[in-house]
Chain A
Amino acid sequence: MKRGLMLWSATLVTYAFLYVPLAVVVLFSFNDSELNASWVGFTTRWYAKLLGDETMLQAAANSLFIALVSSLIATLLGTMAGIAMHRWRPPLLPFLVLTPVAMPEILLGVSLLLFFRQVLDLTLGLFSILLAHITFSIGFVAIIVRARLAGMDESIFEAARDLGATPWKTFVRITFPLIVPGVVAGYLMAFTLSIDDFVITFFVAGVGMSTLPLQIYSMIKVAVTPEVNAVSTLLMALTLTLIAIASRVALTTLKRGT
């Protein structure tokens, strides 16, 4: 009984540590006061203000566009890399694909900036952010897809060939349906990584280009206003929804035992 109590309190403290700050942000986004100090009353005016804020809306639109497009391309390339790593076990590919995952973001940001400016002579903006996000997302997708393939009986793919399927038909009818959960999980991962990336985006955004995290950062340089709370709450809601979908996909896959 006593031990149960201790366990419960430890659990409670840990979860409180994790989630109270988030709850405070959500709570104060509905607070009818300019200051994040004490609770005054309920309001939705910060959300209304947010919706009237042109720069904020533009930043949100940029973020969504970058996240959608970069995760799509990263999923395509990452899936191919994951399959290639599993099938042919090339010695260099895992290293090349996975390095951006392990590399400190600040390093990746600086090197991408130098590469875009000095080597490619690219004008920084939407396109350079897209390239950067694709770069750091590919590795995550590749890892997930490869892990999915690694758990499978190799003879399934041989059986498909043996029973009359060409390599392409084998991919369409057997390989792809079996790795779909991995591909979807990889896509959602890439999307969440892209939409809340700050460090790398900060380096490669250039002048006049803003994403949601950059916009929030520039706002809190002045003060943490309730408007920041409101936009953070929305971002949190989006991310949580995606995580819920991803775990749902993983669960249904587990249940089907495939």
Chain B
Amino acid sequence: MALLELRHITRRFGDLEAVKDVTLSVEAGEFFTLLGPSGCGKTTILRMIAGFDEPDEGELFLDGQPLAGIPPEKRPVHTVFQSYALFPHLTVAGNIAFPLEMAGRTRDEIRRRVGETLALVHLEEKSAAFPHELSGGQKQRVALARGLVNKPRLLLLDEPLGALDAKLRERMQIELIALQREVGVTFVFVTHAQQEALALSHRIAVMNAGRVEQADVPEALYSSPKSRFVADFIGTINLIEADVVESNRHGLLLRAAGIGDIAAPAHPGIAAGRHGALAIRPEHLRVSPHSESAGLKNHFLGTVSEYLFRGDVTIYTIRLDNGLSLEALTTNAAPGRARFHEIGDRVRVEWRHDAGVYLAD
């Protein structure tokens, strides 16, 4: 049985449907992420799990027990807030002791558990400091320690890394994964940063306008998105509008206006005549001088109109002869050369017949 279950949850604010018929389940021990742009309803779902909000329709279950009507303080669910929400008048130790005191633990147990948890987040020496004396990363750790100390069934994290700078953010991501593995508490994480979600999560639910577009493991979301929104939101992707000319078990034959025929991987359930788009990742495109060819099934001529040199990789924007722009990512793995093409160069863009995903409208 799933630890947390959301069944057909709908939540309205006036005329706005913030969450529309969401059904999800989270397994014990999972690092589960709600990913989506701001205003997609992910924070509303988090608040309903925490008990600060109730759904208009549908039900939530924790360990099979309905959560309706149970106030936040009675739910074995703790939250790490975006602003950390540390109590400014209490020390680090006082903050971490708070949930234990509320749960009526003995003084000895509180002292021991606070000590253990401080060690877990490497903040032993800051035990007597007040929140305003801490750096952003330290506040973050105190908030995590406070959320974990009373061993909740579920820890909710509301964009907890949002306020940190890029370097620190990356380090906290690694620490967060290690921490979750160590304590074994189920995490429900909310973020709008897709790379963060991919890096941290066991499973991700991609949300858009109150609905769950797709819930799956990160690799599946990346390699087989089920909608244009997911394809576009997770990573970078090229969308080539194309009609289905032929569909059989070996593959699809697509026709794109101004380009011509494209071979795409088979997609059961898609018949000839459908309209949609082929979604293909930049790293699946090969770029070579126009006179050469890697011999791949799909190949088109174009001109380099832009490039972004990132050191390990270079991202080219290539304008095909029909006006369509594609992004292609090439690794600079060959020793001695860091980049291959200049702006204005005529190049050949190629990709395999089994690359990409066809997204029918």
Interface on A for B, CB 8 Å cutoff? 153, 155-156, 158-166, 169, 173-174, 177-178, 256-258
| A-side contacts of B50, CB under 8 Å | 162
| A-side contacts of B52, CB under 8 Å | 158, 161-162
Closest to B50 in A: A162
B323 to chain A, nearest CB (A): 49
| A-side contacts of B82, CB under 8 Å | 155
Query: Are B103 and A162 neighbours in the complex by a CB distance under 8 Å?
Result: no
Query: Are A161 and B81 neighbours in the complex by a CB distance under 8 Å?
Result: no
Q: What does DSSP make chain A's interface, helix, strand, loop or mixed?
A: helix
Query: Are A174 and B87 neighbours in the complex by a CB distance under 8 Å?
Result: yes
Knowing that A162-B79, A163-B98, A163-B150 are A-B contacts, what are 9 other residue pairs whose CB atoms are under 8 Å apart, sorted by A's residue number?
A153-B85, A155-B83, A159-B81, A162-B50, A162-B51, A162-B52, A257-B88, A257-B132, A258-B88
Question: For the complex, what is the distance from the CA of A190 to the CA of B147, rounded to whole Å?
Answer: 41
| B-side contacts of A156, CB under 8 Å | 85-88
Closest to A173 in B: B98
Question: For the complex, what is the distance from the CA of A187 to the CA of B51, rounded to whole Å?
Answer: 36
Q: B102 is contacted by which of A169, A257, A258 (Cβ under 8 Å)?
A: A169
| B-side contacts of A258, CB under 8 Å | 88-89, 132
- Total number of A-B contacts with CB less than 8 angstroms? 68
Query: Are B102 and A165 neighbours in the complex by a CB distance under 8 Å?
Result: yes
Question: For the complex, what is the distance from the CA of A19 to the CA of B82, rounded to whole Å?
Answer: 51
Q: List 16 A-B contacts (CB under 8 A).
A: A153-B83, A153-B85, A158-B81, A159-B79, A159-B85, A159-B87, A161-B52, A162-B52, A162-B77, A162-B78, A162-B79, A163-B78, A165-B98, A173-B98, A258-B88, A258-B132
Query: Are B85 and A161 neighbours in the complex by a CB distance under 8 Å?
Result: no
Closest to B149 in A: A163
| B-side contacts of A169, CB under 8 Å | 102
Q: B73 is contacted by which of A155, A162, A256 (Cβ under 8 Å)?
A: A162
| B-side contacts of A160, CB under 8 Å | 87, 98
B11 within 8 A of A: no
B79 to chain A, nearest CB (A): 5
Question: For the complex, what is the distance from the CA of A248 to the CA of B102, rounded to whole Å?
Answer: 33
* Interface mask (B57-78 → A, CB under 8 Å = 1, otherwise 0): 0000000000000011100011
Interface centre among B51, B71, B88 (most CB of A within 10 A): B88
B78 to chain A, nearest CB (A): 6
| B-side contacts of A161, CB under 8 Å | 51-52, 71-73
A173 to chain B, nearest CB (A): 8
Question: For the complex, what is the distance from the CA of A156 to the CA of B103, rounded to whole Å?
Answer: 18
Query: Are A163 and B81 neighbours in the complex by a CB distance under 8 Å?
Result: no
A256 to chain B, nearest CB (A): 7
Contacts A164-B150, A256-B130 hold; do A178 and B73 have CB atoms under 8 A apart? no
Contacts A178-B89, A257-B88 hold; do A164 and B103 have CB atoms under 8 A apart? yes
Closest to A177 in B: B89
Query: Are A163 and B102 neighbours in the complex by a CB distance under 8 Å?
Result: yes
Closest to B158 in A: A155
* Interface mask (B143-169 → A, CB under 8 Å = 1, otherwise 0): 000110010000000000000000000
B99 within 8 A of A: yes
